[in-house]
Amino acid sequence: MNSGERLGKEFKVSAVLPAYNEARNLEPVVEDLTRVLKKITDSFELIIVDDGSKDGTHELADELSKRDFRVRAVHHPVNMGYGAALRSGFGAASHDWIFFTDADGQFDPENLTMLIPLAGQHQFVTGYRENRMDPWHRRAYGAIFSALIRALFGVKVKDVNCAFKLFKKSLVEHTELSVSGAPNNAELLIAAKKKGVDPAEVPVTHRARQKGEATGGSLKVIMRAAREIIELWIRTR
């Protein structure tokens, strides 16, 4: 029995790929993710959300959608933030399950086959970066962020911001998600917790970024995240 069969032949998944200025990474990531999805199920869609990119990501996303009918492109006219990109992808998803990961090539799409078997018993499965291949300051920021979210909101996962998650679409339906920046993963986990759902966790491969520039560890992003965590805590207490 393969991983897809564990959920039955009716398993359908919408893969969401937020992308901001990832023209150098987008095509190979889409190709690899499509290859893995084909192994898992015949019923999938891959939604690229271009978050106001200025480097050709917009045009490339449209080109990739023309090559494969299962690939769709959603565009933001301006950069609205990672959380906003995910919300657009979740809103465009038409299948029962939603998976999301980043378009920067740091995650191995093959690891999705390790999440699928657990989805037969869990509504939410999240990866955690067993060996995070980022600069030290981003690793430190990530560890502090995860510890803070666990302390403030009772979320019990090792790696809150790991961008490798699979969950039932029903967890985000009729749920107000409003965070636009880094705490978007925290908001998603908090929403699941409110519905009595604790995620299963799987170690996933993390790779150093080879192309393009990361924006997640900038001071501007960190300050915005701090403000949004405070707002999230006030809203959910």
- Tell me the two tokens of residue 130: 């067993």
DSSP 82-149: HHHHHHHHHHH--SSEEEEE-SSS-B-GGGHHHHHHHHTT-SEEEEEETT--S-HHHHHHHHHHHHHH
Q: So what's the pLDDT on residue 168?
A: 95
**Whether pLDDT at 207 is above 50:** yes
Residue 173 sits in a domain whose CATH number is: 3.90.550.10
CA–CA separation, 41 vs 176, rounded Å? 30
Query: pTM score, two decimals?
Result: 0.88
Residues β-bridged to residue 18: 49
Comparison of pLDDT for 211 and 68, the residue scoring more: 68
Comparison of pLDDT for 98 and 136, the residue scoring more: 98
The whole domain housing 167 covers: 4-236
CA–CA separation, 96 vs 167, rounded Å? 9
- DSSP assignment, residue 179? -
Number of domains within the chain: 1
